[in-house]
Amino acid sequence: MPRYNAPFEIHVHGEIALRADVNFDQLQDALKPLWTYAGARSLADGASSTYEEEPGILLDAQTQMLQICWTVPGDEDFRQALDEMCMGLNELALKGAAIEVTFYDTDFDEEDESSEQDSRDDFVMLFVGPTPAAIMQAQRDLLVQDVVGMMERHFDGAELGGVVAEIDRLFSQRFDALVSSLELGKPPRGGPGGSGGGTGHGGRRPRHLH
């Protein structure tokens, strides 16, 4: 049901490339935490944003690209809906992607000089992907973009190769640690679980992580 006098306006923004075999029913199920939170009975009913100028939740059928620019009134419990949405999209994503979520405090008035209350605005960056490696790749690419963009104000882009290499080294260490932790959870080879008892996310190293 619609939430009146909600403490936040929550904006979700991102583009997620979906596998070619993903159909509308699968997408509707993956996004169910969002449209049910908005009080809708289907994705088609809940895809519209609170603001008419925002496109809402759209699927480009030609490119299999899910585009989200969607606002809903809500509270902190929306974070649970986001967690469930990410789990659903992981199963449908073709590659790693970032999703930006902004919580705007509806009670905060910047023009009210007499107010002593601090804004409760918050920003969350989420990542989805078919494997941990794909998610780390999206995290790496976004970090490189942000760092290089900031440092190019002071240095030529050609001078930043060492910075990018160091970012890759840090992500490579994180990826190796993840693989090691997953390996520890496997049953011994030849044991009751056999040699096929892995996690399903294998050891594919993200691109650029040398």
Q: What are 134-161's pLDDT values in tens digits?
A: 998 998 888 888 888 888 888 888 888 8
- Structure pTM? 0.75
In this predicted model, which residue has the larger pLDDT, 124 or 158? 124
Give the domain-ending residue among 84, 106, 130.
Answer: 130
Give the domain-ending residue among 104, 130, 156.
Answer: 130
Domain count of the fold of the chain: 2
Shared-domain flag, residues 141 and 210: yes
pLDDT at 12: 98
As a whole number of angstroms, the distance between CA 59 and CA 68 comes to: 9
Residue 205 has pLDDT above 70, yes or no: no
In this predicted model, which residue has the larger pLDDT, 3 or 32? 32
Shared-domain flag, residues 31 and 111: yes
Q: If you average pLDDT over residues 56-75, what whole number do you get?
A: 96
Asked if 127 and 196 count as a contact pair (C-beta separation under 8 A), the reply is no
pLDDT band at 197 (very low <50, low <70, confident <90, very high): very low
Shared-domain flag, residues 78 and 162: no
Q: What angle do CA 55, 60, 63 make, to 5 degrees?
A: 140
Q: 22 in the Ramachandran plot: left (φ > 0), alpha (ψ -120 to 50) or beta?
A: beta
Shared-domain flag, residues 111 and 162: no
- 2 domain-assigned: no
Shared-domain flag, residues 22 and 126: yes
pLDDT at 191: 41
pLDDT at 156: 87
Shared-domain flag, residues 126 and 183: no
pLDDT at 200: 38
- 14 domain-assigned: yes
Residue 84 has pLDDT above 70, yes or no: yes
Shared-domain flag, residues 155 and 91: no
- 110 domain-assigned: yes
Cβ atoms within 10 Å of 42's Cβ, excluding its own: 11
Mean pLDDT, the chain, whole residue set: 83
pLDDT at 91: 96
Do β-strands 56-60 and 8-17 pair in parallel, antiparallel, or remain unpaired?
unpaired
- 19 domain-assigned: yes
Shared-domain flag, residues 161 and 194: yes
Give the domain-ending residue among 130, 158, 191.
Answer: 130
Asked if 70 and 82 count as a contact pair (C-beta separation under 8 A), the reply is no
Range of the domain at 53: 8-130
Q: If you average pLDDT over residues 65-92, what whole number do you get?
A: 97
pLDDT at 169: 84
In this predicted model, which residue has the larger pLDDT, 85 or 159? 85
In this predicted model, which residue has the larger pLDDT, 92 or 112? 92
Shared-domain flag, residues 61 and 20: yes
Q: If you average pLDDT over residues 29-55, what whole number do you get?
A: 97
Shared-domain flag, residues 78 and 175: no
Domain with residue 70: its CATH number is 3.30.70
Shared-domain flag, residues 62 and 165: no
87-96, 129-138, 152-161, 198-207 — most confident range: 87-96
Shared-domain flag, residues 184 and 85: no
pLDDT at 88: 97
- 177 domain-assigned: yes
Q: What angle do CA 193, 196, 201 make, to 5 degrees?
A: 120
